[in-house]
Every structure is written in structure tokens, then in C-alpha cells.
Amino acid sequence: AQSVTQPDIHITVSEGASLELRCNYSYGATPYLFWYVQSPGQGLQLLLKYFSGDTLVQGIKGFEAEFKRSQSSFNLRKPSVHWSDAAEYFCAVGGYNKLIFGAGTRLAVHP
Amino acid sequence: EADIYQTPRYLVIGTGKKITLECSQTMGHDKMYWYQQDPGMELHLIHYSYGVNSTEKGDLSSESTVSRIRTEHFPLTLESARPSHTSQYLCASSAIAGGRGEQFFGPGTRLTVL
């Protein structure tokens, strides 16, 4: 069955520190992979996506993610976190007729 | 500016009332979706449409219904609201069907049924 697992429900980092949010997926074919961010009271905004080609993809707001087929992972990274990055982050895999979302990781940023 | 709109943003209503959540997009997209999101949980697809007069149920069983009479408009209706319907409802649209394309999301409607 298709599924997405985000092992970390809640992560706290200090401003300026590096960040990695984990995402593992289960999908039979070559996946389409997405990372979305949701600020409080808002909808989801796409950070980046992977369809094919270079396994390291760059997104908006300084985020990047690396697709590792052998590990079925698509982890999101940022070298230096800003206070405005505090939000909920969702990983998703694109199936035949829908997106399948993980449960999300809530990021808190300490000043 | 191309965007996707949802109204109302917040709704508190009593049990048994009929409600309609509005979703409109100026993206020019054929594909539209409704998701239900509970706090701390993943999004669940409840309805989708690939064009005018086309609607399908998603993975999560829902007592709501949808219609697609105009390309830009995809309203969701609950005939008789119950406390179990309390949730956030997110509308999205895309140019490409299903999981192959980026979906653009509205700001959501947070529904509370007393």
C-alpha cells in the first residue's frame, strides 16, 4: 500500500541551526515526491518537488531535499533556520490519482 | 493574480444545520480537490473533480457532497452537520491530474459543529 511516514512529530531547533526533516515513503513505482509547508491558519504551500533527474532538488525559502531510492527517503534540509520557518511540514507522494500525505512534522524555532 | 479562495475561513454552527463551504480558483485549472485535516493528522482526500460535471469520492468516507457546475467553482455541502464533522477543510486545484502535478491550496475553512 502507498504510504508516507514522517517519524518526527515535533522538532525544535535554534535559529541559525541546520535542519533535517525525515520522510519515508512506500510506493511501488517511481514516485513523485513533494514537500509542503503550512503556517498556522493557512493552506499548504509547495516548497519543492521531485519527479525525475537530479536527486538533490532545490526549493523556495532556501530548502532542499534529497531523493534516495535505496532508502525510500526524501528528507528535507535547510542549512540555517530562520524564526519564520516555524510551521508544519508535510511530505507527500504522488500516486496514480492522488497525493498521499504524511502526518506532518511541527517545527518550532528558538531565538 | 491567480489564486484559490475559500469562504468562510471559520464557521461555528449547530447540529443539524445545512452548510456549504465555498471554493473558487482563478488558476485556470480543471482539477480540483477537497481534503479533510484534523489537528496533528495527515490530509485525507474526500472529493475530487477532473472537470465540469465530474465528481468522485476520495479515500476518506464523507457525508458531504460536492458539485462542479463551473470550472472555477467547487463547493462542498453538508446537509445536516454533526459534531463529528468538526475539522479543517482544504480545497486545492491542479493543472495535472492526481499525484503527478503540483496542487495549489486555499487557506482552508475551520468548521466547528456544536
Q: What is the pLDDT along chain B (114 residues), one digit of tens a residue?
A: 779 999 999 999 999 999 999 999 999 999 999 999 987 788 899 999 999 999 999 888 788 999 999 999 999 999 999 999 999 999 999 987 767 778 999 999 999 999
Q: Which residues contact residue A17 at a Cβ distance below 8 angstroms, ignoring those fewer than 6 apart?
A: A80, A81
Q: In this predicted structure, what is the pLDDT of residue B64?
A: 93
Q: In this predicted structure, what is the pLDDT of residue B96?
A: 78
Distances (CA, A) of B18 to A77, B33, B76, B78: 44, 21, 11, 6
Option in A41, A44, A96 nearest B99 (CB): A96
- Gyration radius of chain A's alpha carbons: 13
Q: Which residues contact residue A101 at a Cβ distance below 8 angstroms, ignoring those fewer than 6 apart?
A: A4, A90, A91, A92, B42, B43
Q: In this predicted structure, what is the pLDDT of residue A90?
A: 96
**Spatial CA neighbour of B31 closest among B46, B47, B49, B53:** B49
pLDDT tens readout for residues A19-68: 999 999 998 777 899 999 999 878 899 999 998 888 999 999 999 999 99
Rounded distance, CA B96 to CA A100, Å? 16
Option in B98, B106, B108 nearest A98 (CB): B98
**Spatial CA neighbour of A23 closest among A68, A63, A87:** A68
Contact A6, A100 (CB under 8 A): no
- Nearest Cα of chain A lies from the Cα of B92 at a distance, in angstroms, of 9
Q: In this predicted structure, what is the pLDDT of residue B1?
A: 72
The reply to whether residue A104 touches residue B42, judged by beta carbons under 8 angstroms, is yes
- For residue B108, the chain A residues in CB contact (below 8 A) are 41-43
- pLDDT (average), residues A86-109: 90
The reply to whether residue A4 touches residue B105, judged by beta carbons under 8 angstroms, is no
**Spatial CA neighbour of B109 closest among B64, B71, B67:** B64
Cell reading at A43: 493552506
- For residue B59, the chain A residues in CB contact (below 8 A) are 98
Q: In this predicted structure, what is the pLDDT of residue A1?
A: 73
pLDDT band, very low/low/confident/very high, at A17 (cuts 50, 70, 90):
very high
Preceding amide of A40 cis, omega within 30 = no
